[in-house]
Amino acid sequence: MRHRVAGRRLSRTREHRLAMRRNLVASLFEHETVSTTMQKAKEVKAFAEKLITLAKKGTLSARRRAIAMLGDRDIITYEDGKAVKKGTVIGKLFSELGPRYLDRPGGYTRIIRLSLRRLGDNGRLVLLQLVGADETLEKESKTAARKRSRKGAEETAEVEETSEAEETTENDSQTNAVE
């Protein structure tokens, strides 16, 4: 019986599960979306949300706890064939992701099921994503569109006002010329 036994074994040893969870979460924070299986995504989701909650605190002790839980992996990109260090996963977590979710009480990740299945074992694939990265872009584009429409309305109103003012000055000059 499995009374009070939490978590999935995922056909791995304890050490392998821990390393896999750390690697998946670090990749999630680095790329903000990861493709994996449903079982792994469900297992990793809670761990990622706990780390984001720590990042929202932003204290030194919270940073040290996050490093102890996750490790401090470097973010490396390749430019012109050379590896360039862009920072660390913990640095991105505390500088970008923590402040992004300050006003959000929870639910920082989502699981989106894909219609694809993995070749070989036919495993169900899903996308594990951080919520808010694309939503902030949508909000910014909507607000930009609103600003543009407001500016357009204001500009047309100004053009109408100036044309009316020009017409009245022309009418006044014509009446003065007639008199």
pLDDT for position 157 = 54
Same domain, 44 and 93: yes
CATH number (domain holding residue 65) = 3.90.1030.10
Average pLDDT, integer, range 80-108 = 95
Residue 146 near residue 86 (C-beta atoms within 8 A) = no
CB 25 within 8 A of CB 36: no
Query: Hey, what long-range contacts does 61-68 have (CB within 8 A, 24 or more apart)?
Result: 63/90, 63/94, 66/90, 66/93, 66/94
Average pLDDT over residues 135-141: 58
Into how many domains does the chain fold? 2
Domain boundary among 114, 131, 148: 131
| Mean pLDDT computed over 38-46 | 96
Which pLDDT band, with edges at 50, 70 and 90, does 132 fall under? confident
Residues 148 and 123 in one domain: no
Distance CA 24, CA 111 (A): 14
DSSP state of 123: P
For the chain, what is the mean pLDDT?
Answer: 85
pLDDT at 40: 96
What is the residue range of 145's domain?
Answer: 132-179
- N-term to C-term CA, the chain: 108
In a domain, 3, yes or no: no
Q: Would the pLDDT of 57 be above 60? A: yes
